[in-house]
Amino acid sequence: MALETNSYFNPRGGEVKVSHKHSSQIYCQSSAFNPGISLAGSQDIAFPGDYQHVEARSKVVPHVHHASDFKKNDKDSFHGSASCNSSQSRVSCLVEIPLTTVSESRLKEKKSCLKGKGKYDKNFKIHCDRDNDHHFRIPTNGAHRAQHKACTIHQLRDGRRLHSATNISGSMSVKKEIVERVCDILAKREWGQETVQALSDLDLNLSPFQINEVLKQQKDTERALSFFNWAKDQRGYKHDAHTYTTMLGILGRARNFEALDCLFNEMLREGCKPSIVTYNRLIHSYGRANYLEASRNIFNHMHTVGCKPDRVTYGTLIDLHTKAGCHDTAVGFYDMMQQAGYCPDTFTYSLMIHCFGKAGKLTAAYRLFCEMVDQGYPPSLVTYNTMIDHFAKAGKFDMAMKLYNDMKEAGYRPDQVTYSIMMEVLGHSGHVEEAELVLFEMEQAGWTADAPIYGLMVDLWGKSGNAEKAVEWFNKMIHSGVKANVPACNSLLSAYLRLNSYNAAREVLQSMSKWGLDPSLQTYTLLLSCCKGTEQQQQIDLMLSLKGRIEHPAHTFLCSFLTSEPSDTRSLIRHFFDCMQFEEQETKRGFADSLIDFLHDSGLKSAAGHVWDIVVEKSLYPRAVTDKTPHHWSVNLHVMSIGTALVALLRTLVLFKERMVTSGVAPERVYIITGWGRRSRVAGASLVKHAVESLLNSLGSPFHIDGANLGCFVSKGKPLFQWLTEPQVEQVLVF
DNA sequence: TTAGGGTTAG
C-alpha cells in the first residue's frame, strides 16, 4: 500500500511526513527542527477494521506526539488525528481514510483518498510537495484482504504450514512473523542440510524485501552469505539492489574483500544496477579497512557510471579521511560537496567540526559551529560533544563550559560521551577526584558506567601515578558485574609499568589470559614504550613472555626483531604492517612511535630508520611532511616521541636534499615544527623541541627560532642545502 | 511498493 505523496513541513530543513506506510498503518513522522530535542518515540493505537493501528512517530519530538483513536464515521471512512509538538512548534494532521471495498480494476480508475491537513504555528510554514491543498492520495483496495490476513496469522501462530507469501503480501505483521520464523531457523543451527530442509519445509516464496529483512538481522557473515546464496537458487527468485547492497555491507563489515569484490561483480553481471547506497556502502567498507585509495576510486567510478554522489557519499569520505588524519583531503571533499550543489546539514557540519578539531584548527572548527547556527541548523548532541571535546582538549575550559551550558539550555541532557569528555579533561588536568564526582553525577542522571567508563577511571588514576586507586576502580568494575575488557586491562597494566611494578604487571597479563582476553596492539605498545633504562632486559622479557590464545602478529614480529638480527629487516617490517591493515591508524601510529623510539634508544638506528620509511610508505604520518606552498616545506614532529622525532627529522632532511638535487631548486623556507611536544610537562618546555635543538646545534645547522613561534625552527633553502652536503652532516644522515 | 548508507569519548 503506497502513499503517493507526502505533506512536508519544513521550517529549517526539518520535515513532517504523513504517509500511509501500509494498509494497516498510518505513519506520521517529523524530523529535526528543534535544537533541544533529539529522541524518537512512537505510539501505536488501536484501530478498528482492516487498519490495525496508526502510528505517530517522531525522530525529534520525544513526548508529545499523539495519535487519536480513529473512529468510523457515517461516510464509511475512518477519521482521526496525529500530531507532533515541540516547545517551538506544533504540527498536527487530520487524516481521513475511506474504507470502501472496491475491485482491483476499479481501483486503477478511481483511487481512494486520504486527506491530510496541516496546522502549524505562525513561525513556521508548511509547504507541500505536489499541491497546495495538502492533499495526498493513496491507492487502497480496502478490507477485502482482512479475512485472508486473519487466516494466515492464525495459521502462523498455530505452527501449521504457511501460505505462500505471495498470497499474504498484504499484512505487515504477517511479513514480520515470516521473517522471524526464517531468522529462528537460521539462528538454531550452523548452516547445513538441516537448515535448507527447514527452510524448504516452510514452503514460502520469499520476496527480496523479506530476504533483505532476514539478512539485516544476521550477525554471522558466513551464515548470511549461505542464506543469500540459498535465496538465489530459489525458483523464480532474483536478488535486487537492496539485498545485494545489504550483503555487500555485511561482507564489508567482516572485511572479506575477496567475497565482496566477487559479489559486486556478480551484481553487475546479473544486470542489477548498483544504487547510490550500494556505492556509499562500498566506500565506507573499504575506507574503514584503511583502503582509502579504493574508496576514492569507487567515488571516481561513480562519476563514470553516471551515479551522482550525494551528501552521504561526501560525508562518508570526509569522515574516513578525517579518521586517517588526511584532514586536507577531507576539506577537499567538503568543498567538492558544496560545488556539487549540496549545502552542509547538521550531520555534515558535525563531521567538519570534528575534522578541523582533529587537525588542531580550533578556530576554524568553532567558526563552522557558529556558521551552522547562523544558517539555521541546530547543533545536535554529537555536535555539542565534539565541540566541547575540542575546546577542553585545547585547554579552553571556559569555552567548553559555556557550550556545555548552552547544550543544556538547548534541552539536551548530557550523555555518556559528554560525561566521558568531562571526566577525561578533568583527569588529564590533574583533577582525578573531580572526574570521579562526574562519574557519580552521571550515575545519578540515570546512566550506568560501562567497561570503557570504568576503564577511563583506571586509566586516569594510573596516569596520575596512583596504581592503588587504579586497581580499586578496576575491582569496582568487576564487582559491579561489568566484564573487564582489554583496554581496561591495558590501563591497569600501564599503571603498574609506570611504577616499574613488574610482578603486578605480570599478574594483570595472567588475569587477561585467564579471562580469555587476548593482548591487543596497544598492549604491545605499552610494553614496548616501557622498555627503557637500566631494567630494559627485564621489560623485554616480560613483553616476550606475553602470549594470547592466538599469537598476536606483534609478538612474532617483536620476537624475531629482538632475539636475533633479522636477515631482511625491511620486508619483515613491511609484512608486519601489512598484517595490521585493519587496525586503526591511530593505534598503528602509537605502536610505530613506541617501536622507533625504542629502537633509537637501544642504538638500533638503522632499524629505526627502516621502520620510519615503511610507516611513511603506509601513510601513517600523512601530516608529518607537507608543503605549505611549493616554496615552503615543512616537517611536523609535533606529536612524536623523542626518538621518532629525531629519526623522522633526519630522514626528512635526506628527502629534502634529494628533492633539491632532483629539481635543482631550493625552497624559500623550510620549517621544523616541534610544538610543545607530547612528552612535555610544562608549557613551552617541550622535550622534543630540546632534543631537536641540540641535534641541530651539534651539527651547526642554519635552523633557528624565528618570530613568536617558539616551537618552530626555520631555515632558508640555499644555506640548508649547503649544510646538508657538508661531510659531517652527510655522515649523520646515512643510517 | 515496502527496505538499504555517513558523526562524537575511552
If we measure between CA atoms, which residue out of A271, A210, A270 comes closest to residue A246? A210
A4 touches strand B (CB under 7 A): no
Is the Cα dihedral A262, A268, A274, A279 positive or negative?
A: positive
Task: Out of A394-398, A657-661, A672-676, pick the least confident.
Answer: A672-676
Looking across all nucleic acid strands, the nucleotide with the smallest C1' to CA distance from residue A274 is B4
A171 touches strand B (CB under 7 A): no
Q: What amino acid occupies position A121? A: D
Q: How far is the CA of A653 from the C1' of B9 (A)?
A: 37
**In the predicted structure, residue A633 carries a pLDDT above the cut 70:** yes
Q: Which nucleotide is nearest to A287 (CA to C1')?
A: B6
Q: Left, alpha or beta for A227 (phi > 0: left; psi -120 to 50: alpha)?
A: alpha
Interatomic distance A2 CA / B1 C1' (Å): 6
Indicate yes or no: strand B within 7 A of the C-beta of A20.
no
Distances (CA, A) of A243 to A192, A226, A668, A706: 21, 13, 57, 60
Does the nearest atom of strand B lie within 7 Å of A284's Cβ?
A: yes
Residue–nucleotide distance: A208 CA to B6 C1' (Å): 25
Between A678 and A83, residue with greater pLDDT: A678
A146 CB inside 7 Å of strand B: no
State whether residue A189 is helix, strand or coil.
coil
**Chain centre distance of CA A150:** 43
B8 C1' – A84 CA distance, angstroms? 28
pTM of the model: 0.75
**What DSSP designation does A604 have?**
-
A300-CA/B5-C1' distance, Å: 18
**pLDDT above 90 (res A341):** yes
Give the model confidence (pLDDT) of A16-47 as tens digits: 333 433 333 333 333 322 222 212 222 222 23
pLDDT reported for residue A530: 84
**On chain B, which bases lie within 7 A of the protein's CB atoms?**
1-10
Q: What's the pLDDT at A396?
A: 92
pLDDT of A11 > 80? The answer is: no
Least confident range of A358-362, A577-581, A682-686 = A682-686
Q: Is the CB of A152 under 7 A from strand B?
A: no
Q: Which segment, A221-230, A507-516, A597-606, is predicted with the most confidence on average?
A: A221-230
Residues 402-431 of A with CB under 7 A from strand B: 415-417, 420-421, 424
Q: Which amino acid is at A688?
A: V
In whole angstroms, B6 C1' to A420 CA is: 23
Q: Please check whether residue A602 is in contact with residue A579, taking contact to mean a CB–CB distance below 8 angstroms.
A: no
Nucleotide at minimal C1' distance from the A316 CA: B6
pLDDT of A454 higher than 80: yes
Query: What's the CA gap between A557 and A569, in Å, rounded?
Result: 10
Task: Provide the residue count of chain A.
Answer: 735
The H or E element that residue A629 is part of is: strand A625-629
Residues of A (301-340) placing their beta carbon closer than 7 angstroms to any atom of strand B are 310-316, 319, 323
Burial zone of A104 (CB within 10 Å; 0-12 exposed, 13-18 middle, 19+ buried): exposed
Q: State the maximum Cα–Cα separation within chain A, in Å, rounded to a whole number.
A: 102
Residue of least CA–C1' distance to B4: A242
Q: What is the three-class DSSP state of A691? A: helix
pLDDT band at residue A542 using 50, 70 and 90 as cut-offs? confident
A658 — pLDDT class (breaks 50, 70, 90): very high
pLDDT at A638: 83
C1'-nearest nucleotide to the CA of A245? B4
* Range A532-539 average pLDDT: 72
Return the pLDDT at A429. 87
Higher pLDDT, A68 or A293: A293
Residue nearest to nucleotide B5 (CA to C1'): A277
A333 within 8 A of A314, measured Cβ to Cβ:
yes
Show Cβ contacts of residue A555 under 8 Å, excluding neighbours closer than 6 positions: A519, A524, A544, A546, A547, A548
* pLDDT for A157 beyond 60: no
With H, G, I as helix, E, B as strand and everything else as coil, classify residue A660.
helix
pLDDT at A337: 97
Q: Examine the pLDDT at A82 and tell me if it is beyond 70.
A: no
A231: how many CB neighbours lie within 10 A of its CB? 22
Does A383 contact strand B, using a CB cutoff of 7 Å? yes
Q: Is residue A145's beta carbon less than 7 angstroms from any atom in nucleic acid strand B? A: no
A623 in helix, strand or coil?
coil
Q: Which nucleotide is nearest to A456 (CA to C1')?
A: B10
Q: How confident is the model at residue A108 (pLDDT cuts 50, 70, 90)?
A: very low
Q: What pLDDT digit, counting tens, does each position of A227-267 carry?
A: 999 999 999 999 999 999 999 999 999 999 999 999 999 99
Report the pLDDT value the prediction gives residue A470, as an integer from 0 to 100: 97
A382 CB less than 7 Å from any atom of strand B? yes
Q: Is A13 left (phi over 0), alpha (psi -120 to 50) or beta?
A: left
DSSP letters of A495-550? Answer: HHHHTT-HHHHHHHHHHHHHTT----HHHHHHHHHH--GGGHHHHHHHHHH---SS
For chain A, the average pLDDT equals 77
Judge whether residue A29 contacts strand B, using its CB and a 7 Å cut-off.
Answer: no
Give the closest residue to B3 (Cα–C1′).
Answer: A209
Terminal CA-CA length for chain A: 73
Helix, coil or strand: residue A74: coil
d(CA A733, C1' B8) / Å: 42
pLDDT at position A683, please?
53
Helices (H), A292-428: 292-304, 311-323, 327-339, 346-358, 362-374, 381-393, 397-409, 416-428
Instruction: Name the band, by pLDDT with cuts 50, 70 and 90, for residue A170.
Output: very low
| Among A157, A141, A73, A68, CA closest to A103 | A141
Residue that wins the pLDDT comparison between A566 and A725? A725
Asked whether residue A38, judged by its CB, lies under 7 Å from any atom of the DNA or RNA strand B, the reply is: no
